[in-house]
Amino acid sequence: MTIWDAIILGIVEGLTEFLPVSSTGHLTIVSKMLGLQIDDPAITGFTAVIQVGAIAAVVLFFWKDIRRIAVAWVRGLVKPEHRGEFDHRMGWYVIVGSVPIVIVGFLARDVISGPLRSLWWVAAALIGWSFVMVAAERLGTKSRPLEKLNFVDALVMGLVQCLALIPGISRSGATISAGLFRGLERVAAARVSFLLGIPALVGAGAYELKDALNGDVGAVPLLVGTVVSFIVAYVSIAWLLRFLVNHTIEVFAFYRLLLGIVLVILLATSTITAT
């Protein structure tokens, strides 16, 4: 992998990690276009590690919220009278919502980094989940603010987040859709999605770090890709939160559908290969 490859993939990761379009799907497609072996453990490791840059961006962006939630959670553990506070409960919601993907990700790790790296899977997931996003947007009441989040919401969003282990589904697309189905406002669903992404992606990056370093990628491209993804992701987060105030997620669904159809055509005509 060259430095330019790392920069391009870092930009793709930063742009797509928090937009509901599937960062893993886009990274897989772009890696293939760059001539990289997409089912190589070093390449899958690289794409997982540079996600840490995007997570660093969300931590920085929401630092005040994260700090407040963490303090309230610890305070509630020590002093029972504080356990009714929303920030204390939010701490538990993030923990509960993060447990499913940790378990499923560990148990299915070989499948995720192997057979699911086929571009046929990416195309099918891009197309299939587009319809779920449209349904979530049109059927969800979008009437509940973040303060109305409850345990069931967090658990449902956490369970649905596991589907994002399939390249092309989109972690943010899955969790935001689940939040909308549960009646959350768009921005509220997005904020919960961002918070749930922190433990999930940090854990994935830490686990895959050894494969990225032990392969042909190298430490310098890994560092460059991570830094680039951090910068681009920070801008993407700010833009998405402003966008969702007055716009639906259907535009992303239509983009995913179009990309998936194009990918199917390229695969079916043998213009590109699946792995």
Q: pLDDT tens across 156-178, in order?
A: 999 999 998 888 999 999 999 99
Check pLDDT > 90 for residue 86: yes
Check pLDDT > 80 for residue 117: no
The structure tokens listed for 159 are 């369970």
Q: How many CB atoms lie within 10 A of CB 220?
A: 11
Determine, yes or no, domain membership for 275.
no
What letter represents residue 228's amino acid? V
Structure confidence by residue, pLDDT tens digits, 52-84: 899 899 999 999 999 999 999 999 999 989 899
Determine, yes or no, domain membership for 274.
no
Comparing 46-60, 117-131, 224-238, the range with the smallest average pLDDT is: 46-60
- Exposed e or buried b per residue across 106-124, where buried means at least 16 C-beta atoms within 10 angstroms of its C-beta: eeeeeebbeebbbbebbbb
Determine, yes or no, domain membership for 119.
yes
Quote the pLDDT of residue 116: 77
The structure tokens listed for 115 are 């057979």
Determine, yes or no, domain membership for 178.
yes
Q: Which residue has the higher pLDDT, 119 or 42?
A: 119
d(CA 53, CA 232): 9
Share the mean pLDDT of the chain: 90
Quote the pLDDT of residue 261: 97
Determine, yes or no, domain membership for 273.
no
- List phi, psi (to 5°) of 241: -65, -40
Q: Domain tally for the chain?
A: 1
Determine, yes or no, domain membership for 184.
yes
Check pLDDT > 80 for residue 205: no
Domain coverage including residue 7: 3-268
Determine, yes or no, domain membership for 137.
yes
